[in-house]
Amino acid sequence: MDSATFERLRTIVYDSSGISLRETKEAMVSARIAKRMRALGIGTHAEYLHYLEHDANGDEITRFLDVISTNVTSFFRESQHFDFLRDILTARLRDSTSKIRLWSAAVSTGEEALSIAMVAHDVLGASPVDCRILATDISTRALINAQQGIYEAAQMENLPEQMRRRFFTPVRDSDAIRYRASDEIMRRIVYRRLNLSRPPFPMRGQLDVVFCRNVMIYFDTAVRERLVAEIYRLLQPGGYLFTGHAESLSSLKTDFACIRPTIYQKH
């Protein structure tokens, strides 16, 4: 790909998602858009750029971001957050809370929201607490997978056997076995497309816990700072923000208090 085309694609990625692609990512971008070029019957990167820039209804930008975004995730990733969540929910149950609102802000293919739902189900059981999880991502492809709630055996590896038996049903699919999440956990989750680089967001606020993990690494300081301020606004006082292990807020201007590495609280 020539450098002018790459520069323009980088700008489009930044403007439409807040993702800062480093100059060294040219080979990665080239490999990822090859799939779109094949699907469209387009032979050169410059032609693809032209197509993208004349995308009147925004469909190609959506598909472009689908291939550009990195969707790596797993069940109970960074498990200390789920232990901490268990403690928060247990305390809220003791305080006779009637409503709990949780947000998985870059849910990818759904494992993070389902891990939250499993903990919530475990702690809250049959109690009448109204506990719901909002799960959002910019990638429509990832969200479609998340909404299906069906996972390959390899994706289930981090999930304790007892959780798998309790919350998933094996589905035989030609030769392979896949696993479908049960209705009791799926029904707590609402999936929506949301671009984290474009605050303000349309939620009503008063959130209890926000998982915004392993996505801020792709953003520059300006985008991160705006996002963190918006999460602060949407949390209720005493609410928590969990970030990924490489996403300390220490270099940002923020009102959050760091109570443990990667766990922040609004006062």
Ligand X SMILES: C[S@@+](CC[C@H](N)C(=O)[O-])C[C@H]1O[C@@H](n2cnc3c(N)ncnc32)[C@H](O)[C@@H]1O
Residues taking part in catalysis:
32, 137
Cis omega (within 30 of 0) on the bond before 200? Answer: yes
**CA distance linking residue 249 with residue 245, whole number of Å:** 11
**CA distance linking residue 266 with residue 39, whole number of Å:** 46
Decide if residue 140 touches ligand X (CB under 6 A): no
Q: What number of other Cβ atoms are within 10 A of residue 20's Cβ?
A: 16
**Which residue number, 208 or 230, has a Cβ lying nearer to ligand X?**
230
Interface with ligand X: number of residues (CB under 6 A): 24
Q: Report the residue from 20, 62, 70, 158 that binds ligand X according to the rule CB under 6 A.
A: 70
Piece of 24-32, 79-87, 137-145, 201-209 that binds ligand X (CB under 6 A): 137-145
**CA distance linking residue 110 with residue 176, whole number of Å:** 21
Decide if residue 247 touches ligand X (CB under 6 A): no
**Which residue number, 18 or 42, has a Cβ lying nearer to ligand X?**
18
Smallest gap from Cβ 114 to ligand X, in A, equals 11
Residue 239: both structure tokens together? 């609410």
Smallest gap from Cβ 2 to ligand X, in A, equals 26
Q: Report the residue from 13, 29, 52, 73 that binds ligand X according to the rule CB under 6 A.
A: 73
Piece of 36-44, 64-72, 148-156, 179-187 that binds ligand X (CB under 6 A): 64-72
Q: Binding marks (x or -) toward ligand X, 5..44, rule CB under 6 A?
A: ------------xxx-------------------------
Decide if residue 77 touches ligand X (CB under 6 A): yes
Q: Report the residue from 82, 84, 112, 210 that binds ligand X according to the rule CB under 6 A.
A: 112
Return the residues of window 141-200 that contact ligand X according to CB under 6 A. 142, 195-197
* Interacting residues with ligand X (CB under 6 A): 17-19, 69-73, 77, 106, 108, 112, 137-139, 142, 195-197, 213-215, 218, 244
